[in-house]
Amino acid sequence: MTQGPSVPVPVIAARHDKIPSHEGAQRANNRHSTLGVFGRAERQRGSAVTPRSFDPSAMPTVTMVGGGQLARMTHQAAIALGQRLRVLAENPDDPAAQVSPDVVLGSHTDLTALRKAAVGSHALTFDHEHVPAEHLAALVAEGVNVQPPPEALIYAQDKLVMRTKLAELGLPVPAFAAVAEPGDAVRFGDANGWPMVLKAVRGGYDGRGVWMPESAAAATEIVTDQLARGVQLLAEAKVPLRRELSAMVARSPYGQAAAWPVVETVQRNGQCAVVIAPAPDLSDELATGAEALALNLAEGLGVVGAMAVELFETTDGRLLVNELAMRPHNSGHWGMDGARTGQFEQHLRAVLDYPLGDTTPLAPVTVMANILGAQQAPAMSIDERLHHLFARMPEAKVHLYGKGERPDRKIGHINVLGDDVAVVREKAERAAHWMSHAVWTDGWDPHD
């Protein structure tokens, strides 16, 4: 059993002002010398200017492995930057495959498909972390610019490796232990208290791959079943939880880093339902500590791109690291409308070694609410629901993923900006509930 310390984390500032040192800086310098200080082509009086057409082939191509909603929203950011996002998708109707003009159909577990998707790309990055490590090592050996690099990504792929590394670094984590047989879980629960937490070491999301047995008998049953299925397990102490937080940062290859405000994530049935940015009533000490922890982790692990550090805030005022995601993340969706630079654009900037963007919030409060599939899909179409939502709440920003409706599936999200946390949250949750169920929580009838 291992327990990471819970001492305060040293505070460092977000390094928005760090000057690029290689290709990103050279690109910026070249652009500056050509365009002048105001970004316009400098002209001498009376000189002729030869028009230059836009050449898409001169702009970088980024390959994203996975065709889900994260790739879809990264594609939107790539359009704004004049870049091309190639998607490795398993199906032509995957969310990103619906919108990207450059789709390679294939599995993330197929090295041949990965190689095909990587041809001609300036960087290869991820919609999810499930690509086999040996495939990534092969791509790197062949000269593919994999970002984040495999030696960093492993800490988001394997929870036991991550927990062990963070404990070695002296960072705060819950007590944990590897589980090789049922007795390991029983001994851990007896030592740390019941209920305890069992997690699949690899995979698992939105509550999947997590169990909370309340007794030795329940733990034995879960471990026996999961080990028989080939699932490697990790035991963790159940912490006295006040709430869950997320510290989102981005880092470029030469070490420039930027952080967004620490947010609160509201979980329901093990799934993120609401994100409040910034986290309300979070002390300055914990906010700066969480940001510093995330920035230090990104640097220490060699992360390139966006990274979310999921955190527990305990009832006695400590921060513990829960999980890492080295890609755009649900807890960062608020920034699409609520920050000067959102996570999808920032991720592209980072993996391409561009200088990073300003992460300043655009409003005192932004609340993101996920649109989840209802237990029974409403008879009203999504398009009609959208029409009624805009008629009643024109300030709501809606992002739909092109996914079919099924129970508890994330099919989109809504961002609402404002000044008062309670008011903004109520609006966002009301709008998301309407889009899920075609029912207004306050009883309002769109046909009255």
Output the known binding site for ATP: 159, 199, 236-239, 244, 322-323
CB 144 within 8 A of CB 172: no
- The token duo for 418 is 């404002």
Binding-site residues sit at: 159, 199, 236-239, 244, 322-323
Beta strands in 260-364 (DSSP E): 263-268, 271-277, 305-314, 319-325
CA distance 270 to 171: 24
CB-hemisphere CA count at 13 Å for 105? 5
CA distance 249 to 124: 19
CA distance 173 to 297: 13
CA distance 382 to 379: 9
| Longest alpha-carbon distance in the chain | 87
- Residue 284 is which amino acid? D
CA distance 387 to 255: 45
DSSP string, 133-201: HHHHHHHHHTT--BSS-HHHHHHHH-HHHHHHHHHHTT-----EEEESSHHHHHHHHHHH-SSEEEEES
- Could you tell me which residues come within 8 angstroms of residue 360 by beta carbon, excluding any fewer than 6 positions away? 339, 340
- Residue 364 is which amino acid? P
* C-alpha separations of 378 from 93, 393, 428 in Å: 22, 20, 20
Classify 297 as helix, strand or coil.
helix
CA nearest to 331, candidates 301, 292, 290, 299: 290
- In SS3 terms, 192-259 reads as HCCCEEEEECCCCCCCCCEECCCCHHHHHHHHHHHHHCCCCEEEEECCCEEEEEEEEEEECCCCCEEE
CA distance 329 to 122: 22
Sign of CA dihedral 122, 126, 127, 133: positive
